[in-house]
Amino acid sequence: MDSTTLLYQLLEEGDEVLAISFDYGQRHVKELEFAARTCEKLRVSHQVVDLSDVGRLLGGSALTSGDIEVPHGHYEHESMRLTVVPNRNMIMMSIAAGHAISAGYDRVAIAVHAGDHAVYPDCRPRFIEVFEDAVLEGNYGRVTVYAPFIDMTKTGIVRLGRALGIDYENDTWSCYEGGEEPCGKCGTCVERAEALAGA
Amino acid sequence: MDSTTLLYQLLEEGDEVLAISFDYGQRHVKELEFAARTCEKLRVSHQVVDLSDVGRLLGGSALTSGDIEVPHGHYEHESMRLTVVPNRNMIMMSIAAGHAISAGYDRVAIAVHAGDHAVYPDCRPRFIEVFEDAVLEGNYGRVTVYAPFIDMTKTGIVRLGRALGIDYENDTWSCYEGGEEPCGKCGTCVERAEALAGA
């Protein structure tokens, strides 16, 4: 929901966008199909990067280990720490920044939002700030980081996205389980339902 | 030469070490064989991470693009900029940091040194500092970054390594060309010869 909304927003702002998805061995690899469908609909180039061999090194998370169950309950609850994939956002954004430089783009955009802050340290404003410092220092200042939703709630994101014409129900996938149908019980299913109802 | 010396130094200091190499489509993939041989000799676990699909996104460098020639001349010369792989060190260290957290290690070590600073921005002290800030912020402060050679010259590294018993001539590979024998003309061959002679 978040990344899809960001993509619509960037296009609305007139940016030329390349979308990047990562296959890091997540249970919910299904999100990649939805990303591809949205990019096709919007005629945006889409790269899927195979990080399966990296995922192998990032065990201990319910999102990547088949033998750790996805916790049920509220997205901001302590139990959701089990869904943290260590250093995930830094790995993905580092690769995106490298490709931005190589392909001539001037920033990397990420849809982290206020609801992520409780559980995921790599979604917090301070992390985004210091990460951007590192990207600037390491690359002659050629790429910046753009996180326009960092202080927004998920409900706010859905309101924005509906105004932009997004069909969340059919065009986005959240569930961490990645089954045929959403489980309705994992943190991100609960969060999704709250945001859709709240908006 | 640098990473090998760092490995010996860490073991000398009594650390428990896991070595990580990256296959990012570099011409000199031969360096991985030498890394494996050294790790076997020292009985250190060694992971080789397949980043070939990431390397595809980091074009425009002579190290990863077959159609860009490896520049000849001095390692600190402006022409060596062609060998910069965008954001390479951040990508590799981000993955290493994620694995450190997952596997219970407390720091990531990297052998960047003073001779790297001229051409590679992601080898400079300021980059290492802000990168460490980002790793700490993004991971509840669980992993630090260790770059003990950051102010040393390559000659100093070789002096240290010889005292530790390293056989650079037989056990390390530098040449960016990655051919049967070192080319003797690329920046890293020139730098290697200077350091061996200087030490």
Nearest residue to B109 (alpha-carbon basis) of B18, B14, B1, B44? B18
* C-beta atoms of A131 and B134 within 8 A: yes
Those of residues 15-54 in A touching chain B at CB distance below 8 A are 47, 49-51, 53-54
Strands (DSSP E) along chain B, which ranges?
A: 18-23, 45-50, 107-109, 144-146
ipTM: 0.92
Dist. CA B87–CA A60, nearest whole Å: 27
Contact B98 A121 (CB under 8 A): no
pLDDT at res. A185: 93
The stretches in chain A having pLDDT less than 70 are: none
Contact A42, A7 (CB under 8 A): yes
Looking at the DSSP assignment, which residues form a beta bridge with residue B23?
B50
How far out from the chain centre does Cα B10 lie? 15
Residue window 77-116, chain B: list those with CB within 8 Å of chain A: 85-91, 94-95, 97-99, 101-103
Distance CA B60, CA B65 (A): 6
A75 Cβ neighbours under 8 A, 6+ residues apart: A115, A119, A187, A188, A190, A191
What backbone torsions phi and psi does residue B50 show, to the nearest 5 degrees? -80, 105
**Taking 90 as the threshold, does the pLDDT of residue B82 lie above it?**
no
Residues B25-81 pLDDT 10s: 888 889 999 999 999 999 999 999 999 999 889 887 888 877 888 888 887 787 778
Count interface pairs A-B at CB distance under 8 A.
137
> Which of A178, A102, A85 is closest to A139 using CA atoms?
A102
Whole-angstrom Cα distance, residue B6 to residue A193?
A: 51
Question: In this structure, what token pair is assigned to residue A60?
Answer: 């201990």
Flag if B130 and A137 touch (Cβ within 8 Å).
yes
Q: What's the confidence (pLDDT) of residue B77?
A: 81
Report pLDDT for A74. 84
B2-198 carries CATH number 3.40.50.620 = yes
Per the CB < 8 A criterion, the answer to whether A146 and A109 are in contact is: yes
Q: Report the amino acid identity of residue A36.
A: A
> Taking a C-beta distance cutoff of 8 angstroms, is the pair B186, B177 a contact?
yes
pLDDT tens-digit series, residues B150-184: 999 999 999 999 999 999 999 999 999 989 999 99
User: What pLDDT is stored for residue B66 in this prediction?
Assistant: 78
3-state secondary structure of B46: strand
- Asked if A133 and B120 count as a contact pair (C-beta separation under 8 A), the reply is no
Q: Does A170 touch chain B (CB under 8 A)?
A: no
Q: Is residue B1 over pLDDT 90? A: yes
- Residue type at position B93: M
Q: Global pTM? A: 0.93
Question: Is-contact B168 B181, C-beta < 8 A?
Answer: no
CA distance A47 to B54: 11
pLDDT given at position A70? 84
Residue of chain B minimizing CA distance to A133: B130
Are the CB atoms for B154 and B172 separated by under 8 Å? no
**CA distance linking residue A35 with residue A50, whole number of Å:** 15
One-character DSSP codes across A24-81: SS-TTTHHHHHHHHHHHHHT-EEEEEE-HHHHTTS-SSTTT-TTSPPPBS-TTSGGGG
